[in-house]
Structure 1
Amino acid sequence: MLAALLLALAACVSKQEPAAKNTLVVGMELAYPPFEMTDEKGTPKGISVDLANELGKALGKKVVIQNTAFDGLIPALKTGKIDLIISSMTITDERRQSVDFSDPYLSTGLCLLVGKTSPIKSIDDLDKPGVTVAVKKGTTGHTYATGNLKNAKVLVLDKEAAAVLEVVQGKADAFIYDQMSTYTNWKKNRDTTRALLNPFQQEKWGIALRKGDTQLKERINRFLGTFREQGGFERLGDTWLREQKTTFKELKYPFFF
């Protein structure tokens, strides 16, 4: 009976193993257009989704997108619920203590969304009593504000939209976030906000994976290099960010990819 049970277990493992090997579970928070979002049917789409699917093709794996709150992505990766994080995640020394990163695939920076009539001109104007600064929980803007703003009130919110609304309604003096989103949020709220797009902190995004996955990391880096050489990132920019590319060129800010 014991031998039969072992054989049955072995058969189950052999049946499950190919599925695991042939599937790449990618974690991302589908709430950050145009990088990570859903269409009207709830299907994942965006730059990161396209990048994940191209990576899956290169690795010969079926890609499954796992929608996860941003601050839950690294815990999900560490516990094996997902295989990778492709979610506009900035490479930081703090995160490197928990996960490994691929080579950077995008450069950006932190900047400010402020009220249209606000006297704020730069990050130097924020750290004062009576100033309220909105940040999204778990982001590098959150980290920056916690570490550097000792006199201002830091308002930590779960959603980007909630932080933008605080500025629109005049309840927060500024929202610290990345250039791309700040530009987009200003475009949606021109009557009530201004975008200070000159970054006060440069950042790079990477694909996060579990520590020790050396072989997978090498394959991802090869893919990123080849994808860039073949114009893949340029195509993503032209597809999803054509207006932003033009605007940033006019402002003489380097574009992201």
Structure 2
Amino acid sequence: MLNLKRLMTSAFACVMATSAPMMASADESTMEKIINSGEISIAVQTQGPPISFIDKNGERTGLAVEMARTFADDMGVELVIKDYDWKGLIPALTSGKVDFIAADMTPTAKRHMQMLFTEPAFYSEVVVFAKKGLDLDSWKDLNSGDYAIGAAQASSYADQAREKLPEAELKAYAGATPQVVQSVLGDRVQAGVSDRAALATFLKQNDELEIIGTLNKEPLGFAVRPDSIHLLLALNNFLRLIEHDGRHQELLDYWWNSTDWEADHK
């Protein structure tokens, strides 16, 4: 029996010794692919300015796209952008179709079960908006079966609406914020939930819309597969570098904290 135990222990040690290099290789497989191909691919939802959209020249751009482009330029590789609707972003990553997700995605515990998130790339303020004249004292007054709330499908905005307005009817839209805004304007829902920055242009274009209140402020990050540790570390290092040299703040001031980008891209 003792010899059998020793044999099993020895065999287990051999398996661990041979699998360790394979595990290390798996951790770097995404980065190795990027280096060998000279390309890095991202999944975006090109429907939601100022995060990602197609501008007047037919070019994909936006805060998340330009952050990813800056990352690719710093690495010396080509950026490949692939479009998906919101609910298609995570499957695109987990199936290996892209290297990382560049979107305004909240690093929830549930999402962390499928992928790894970078340090916050920027922060969002989740707000409730509606047409003027709704005559509410607070966004909390919407927590009633008499109201319907719109939010992007499979988004943290929808999660926030469910959590803080559970009595209201929730309508989820695959078209993200633009479709939610149109539903509010078309009276298909009484209010919508989205990010303040994403709403800035719509509020500027539609005097009849207003923000009722803030539900939450939350960090937003980029996401990689669990086996892409090298890429995750590289992204985090990049975020620290551009914060230090000022490029991060320049991107935020142009895309996120103002509507300056509209003059160049709309």
TM-score where L is the length of structure 2? 0.79
In the alignment, which residue of structure 2 is the partner of 1:9? none
Q: Is the 8 A contact 2:51 2:62 kept in 1?
A: yes
- For 2:196, which of 179, 183, 186 is the aligned residue? 179
Partner of 1:52: 68
Looking at structure 2, the residues matched to 68 and 135 of structure 1 have their Cα atoms a distance apart, in angstroms, of 17
Residue matched to 2:254 = 239
State the 1:123 CA deviation. Answer: 3.2
Identify the match of residue 130 of structure 1 among 140, 146, 150: 146
Once the two structures are superposed, what CA deviation does each residue of 1:31-87 show, in whole Å capped at 9, x if it has no partner? Answer: 111220112343211222211111112223211011111110100100000001111
2:207 maps to 1:202: no
Q: 1:212: which partner in 2?
A: 227
- Other-structure match for 2:240: 225
Measure, in 1, the Cα distance between the counterparts of 2:181 and 2:252. Answer: 24
Distance in 1 (CA, whole Å) between partners of 2:221 and 2:34 is: 28
CA distances 1:152-176 after superposition (whole Å, capped 9, x unpaired):
1111112122211221133321101
Partner of 2:100: 84
**Offset from partner CA, 1:91-132 (integer Å, 9 cap, x none):** 211111111001101112211111200123433112112111
Q: 1:169 aligns with which of 171, 186, 189?
A: 186
Say which of 131, 137, 161 aligns to 1:115.
131
**Count of paired positions:** 227
| 1:9-42 deviations in Å (ceiling 9; x for gaps) | xxxxxxxx68754210011011111220112343
Change (3 A) 1:76 1:18: closer
Find the aligned partners of 1:142 and 1:20 in 2 and give their Cα distance: 40
Contact 2:87 2:174 in 1 (8 A): no
Larger-Rg structure? 2
Give SS of 2:243's match: helix
For 1:175 and 1:18, how far apart are their aligned partners in 2?
A: 39
Q: Structure 2: where are the runs of 5+ without partners?
A: 1-32, 261-266
The farther-off stretch of 235-244 and 64-73 is 235-244
Q: State percent identity of aligned pairs.
A: 23
Amino acid at match of 1:199: T
Q: Is the 8 A contact 1:114 1:120 kept in 2?
A: no
TM-score by length of 1: 0.81
Query: Whole-Å Cα distance in 2 between the matches of residues 48 and 65 of structure 1?
Result: 11
- Counterpart amino acid of 1:89? M
Question: Counterpart in 1 of 2:109?
Answer: 93
- Using CA pairs below 8 Å that are at least 6 residues apart, which structure has the higher relative contact order? 2
Report which stretch shifted further, 20-29 or 69-78.
20-29
In structure 2, the residue matched to 1:145 is 161
